[in-house]
Chains A and B, each alone.
Chain A
Amino acid sequence: MSSNPLARLSRPAWVLIALTVLAVASVVLFMTLGAKGSWSFILPFRGKKLLGLLLVAYSVAVSTVLFQTVTNNRILTPSIMGFDALYVLIKTCIVFFLGVGALTSISSEWQFVFSLVAMVGFSGFLFRWLFLGEERSLHLLVLVGIIFGTLFRSFSNLMQRMMDPGAFNVLQDTLFASFATTDPSLLGISCVIVGVVSVVGFRMMHVYDVLNLGRAQAINLGVDYKRTVAIILVLVSILVSVSTALVGPVTFFGLLVVTLAHSLVGNSLHRYVLPASILLGIIALVGGQTLLERVFAFDTALSIIIEFLGGVVFIALVLRRSAR
């Protein structure tokens, strides 16, 4: 028996403890820092914002980890599959065909449900490429996703150009990721959806590490590969829908936290990488928002900073790959 149980902890365990402390500290600071006035107002007000940020951090981190696991690739994120582009297209279509008033007259719950259905339907549509071939079919699916993403983006661009400039302005405002203004009316439904996804995802926890070994090894070890990958991609598309609906499209945030999590934890086992990514996401969003809002008194700059850092990480990853 060791006299000091802490001395026996492994590196991933230490990392998780440190990240938990930082994440809790960010949350506490976010709720309390610079609070003036009655707590009965501040707690629910900031609590709603906090819940939104936590949901986004969780959804983005989990969806990116799982997406990288099924694609066996450390550079890809779900946004490459055109999910974000589809979200932009949906919003653009609403403004283009129904007029700018529709963005506010259609309740945000309905817009949310609609984009959720569209995104899950889109991933279901992409699966036909997964079931078509075998060896390379997943790569084919990702490539087809990228092409559709480009198509969606081009359609959105076309409509945005033909649109009344005033309407375009309003539209563009809703398409910028903003962590400061999560839509509070969507929190309830998002919590339920994320909860259901998490239960399904958690029950498959043991499969993720096996999928990490690649398709051939996963099949050798008895994983029902196509079915498992299809389920995981549906979970990913739901999580992406939730985070985009709450704050708008974010491209590099997931890549940033997951890459950091991998290098901190030092191995690829999901029981470490998943929680580490979620905690890093919380630290980056909640901690970053606290810092910007309360310390520097900026307002909407966090998404820009996070996307900038994520972009730098992305370029570094690409350069390191090509150097090998």
Chain B
Amino acid sequence: MIITNQVTKNYGTSCVVDGVTLELPQGGVTSIIGPNGAGKSTLLSMVSRLMAMDKGSVTIGGLDVTKAKSDELAKKLSILRQDNHMTARLTVHDLVSFGRYPHSKGRLNIEDKAHIDRAIKYLDLEPLSGRFLDELSGGQRQRAFVAMVLAQDTDYVLLDEPLNNLDMKHAMGMMKLMRQAADDLGKTVVLVLHDINFASWYSDHIVAMKLGKVAAQGSVKDIIRPDVLNPIYEMEINVHEIGGQLISVYYG
């Protein structure tokens, strides 16, 4: 379980995340949605200890993220952000191998190698595994980073806009993979998503944020409703039920 208590972040005088208190359930896929500037990524960064919080606390599976040892946390929690600019020149296989670093500290054993191969296979990267990252398209590179996170094999997986740069096929593949990770491997997956239809189709739980605060949270059918979404996004959103799933239409 991920518990945040009064988590707050200020940049100068503007409050980006304003006293967020949340309990994200163990297991399943949770999506965080909301307009630009809602504080979704900042919240995720603080939950994953990449950013210090000004106030509040976060515990993940009983570990306080600001106090627990970083290498202990790395075995429980992985985070992938949107921007993965890198100066290092590495192959896909090298990158995915780094996912095992928390477990092996650079000395890969047979079990580590199995994890690496499985992650590469999961993300369809076998033909690319010897290629350098700077020779790949944005989407391929994104998949390589996700493979690294999978190889890390943590109970909690946090992804900040994992669908960036992905075409429809790979975006769907990515979400299916997250679903599988939650259903088959019992992982707790938390995603920041912009496309509310992806959130609706693949999540168990949705947290909607606006202006640094949690505007609404609950199951998909509690959140994907015009009366909830319209004030959050400040636009007209219609929700239709198609094939048993709630689909939002907001074009035009």
Contact = CB atoms under 8 A, between A and B. Distances in A.
A and B form one complex: yes
Interface of A: 72-74, 134-135, 205-206, 209-210, 212-217, 219-225, 262, 266-269
B169 interface: no
Contact of A269 (B72, B79, B85, B94): B94
Given A224-B69, A268-B88, 15 more contacts: A72-B87, A135-B51, A206-B107, A213-B95, A213-B98, A216-B50, A216-B81, A217-B84, A221-B98, A222-B71, A222-B74, A223-B71, A225-B70, A267-B132, A269-B94
Interface string B87-123: 1111100110011011001110000000000000000
B170 interface: no
Contacts of A209: 88, 98, 106
Contacts of B49: 219
Given A206-B105, A210-B101, A267 B89 contact: yes
A209 B69 CA distance: 20
Given A216-B50, A219-B50, A267-B90, A210 B98 contact: yes
B89 A268 contact: yes
B89 A214 contact: no
B140 to A, nearest CB: 17
B48 interface: yes
Contacts of B75: 222
A214 B70 contact: no
B51 A213 contact: no
A298 B73 CA distance: 59
Given A209-B106, A213-B98, A220 B86 contact: no
The 3 closest A-B pairs by CB, nearest first: A222-B74, A206-B106, A222-B71
Contacts of B95: 213
Given A224-B71, A267-B132, A213 B86 contact: yes
Contacts of A212: 86-88, 90
A223 B87 CA distance: 18
A135 B45 CA distance: 11
25 contacts: A134-B50, A134-B51, A134-B52, A135-B51, A206-B107, A209-B98, A212-B87, A212-B90, A213-B98, A214-B87, A216-B79, A216-B81, A216-B84, A217-B98, A219-B49, A220-B74, A220-B80, A222-B72, A222-B75, A222-B102, A223-B70, A223-B71, A262-B89, A267-B94, A268-B89
Interface string B157-200: 00000000000000000000000000000000000000000000
A83 to B, nearest CB: 22
A213 B145 CA distance: 11
Given A221-B101, A222-B70, A222-B71, A268 B90 contact: yes
Nearest to B100: A221
Contact of A220 (B50, B69, B85): B50
Contacts of B87: 72-74, 212, 214, 268
B152 interface: yes
A220 B88 contact: no
B101 A267 contact: no
Contacts of A73: 87
Interface in B38-86: 48-52, 69-75, 78-81, 84-86
A219 B49 CA distance: 8
Nearest to A227: B70
Nearest to A73: B87
Contacts of A225: 70
Given A220-B50, A267-B94, A267-B132, A214 B152 contact: no
Given A135-B51, A220-B48, A267 B91 contact: yes
B74 A221 contact: yes
A206 B97 CA distance: 13
Contacts of A214: 84-87
Contacts of A134: 50-52
B188 to A, nearest CB: 16
A267 B132 CA distance: 8
Contacts of A266: 89
A152 to B, nearest CB: 28
